[in-house]
Structure 1
Amino acid sequence: MTDLISAAKNGDVTTLKDLLSQGVDVNTRDGENSTALIAASEAGHLELVQALIQRGADVNAADQDGWTALMGASGSGHLQVVQVLLQAGAHLNAQTGFGMTALMSAAAKGDRAVVQQLLDQGADASVKDNNNWTALIWAAEEKQTEIVALLKQARS
């Protein structure tokens, strides 16, 4: 893990801004091909996400598994981070190598606000992963009954 990614993951605003001021590449990657934006998004560090985007972080960068910042924020229930990433141009229906999307991730975790935000922005609930599972199946499998109802309503 690089110093920049570590600062992003841990919410260390001062270190992150210092490193960027020293010229560290905002899109530097670690051994898993992850970035500081992915780490900050998954951890829900809104201020860091905004700072990284302002410095030119690639909002659609994906790690070695295809996991993006939007997927991380969605699966962790960080609504404000999701909104910032979408406003910055994050690909709503991007898929991991397994076929997982941000909507599937949020549906599996049961975060109603994030699922609703993704649907409102046009997330495709019919997308299937490599096992032919949709967000609805993920929600049902994880016993997220409220999300199942929301996704069924969105289909009709």
Structure 2
Amino acid sequence: MVRCLILFIVSLALLTTMSFATEIYRSTDQYGNTVFSDTPPKNSTPVELPPINTAPPTEVSDTAHRKKPSVTVNMSNQISIQSPANGDIIPNGRIPTTIRVTTREKLAPSQRIVIELNGQKLSNSSSTQYTIPLLSRGPHRIHASLIDQTGKAISKDSVDIMVYQPGN
């Protein structure tokens, strides 16, 4: 009984290793594409594969003793769009329009201001103003966000404006 069991285990091991040791063939199909297969088609060549990498696993150290970095940035800072004001009418969109924002407190070095026009990012910096050289006729939404070091918005503000072109 034990011999049959050993014989069964050895033959099973041989069968599984044989299935992994199949030959790989490379050929080109009628469209010029390279094809790999385990059955040798006409005009195919065997592919030599490098040995399998069997590097031992690395040990993971316990992360419970790792300290989290201390963050001293004030997260209560708020942003506000000063100009143009909500509801402003820009009489000539061909003249550059400057967007000015303020923050309640001084920006931390890790904070930045993102200014968008109609959902399109115009500025991503520490600058509190951005000049748009040309505004098309019609309604526009200006959006400003104060972003922290992780990329999260701390504070947001937006205004809606209307732009006219000369002669309309």
User: Which TM-score band applies after superposition, normalised by the shorter structure?
Assistant: under 0.3
Select the structure of larger CA radius of gyration: 2
Which is helix-richer, 1 or 2? 1
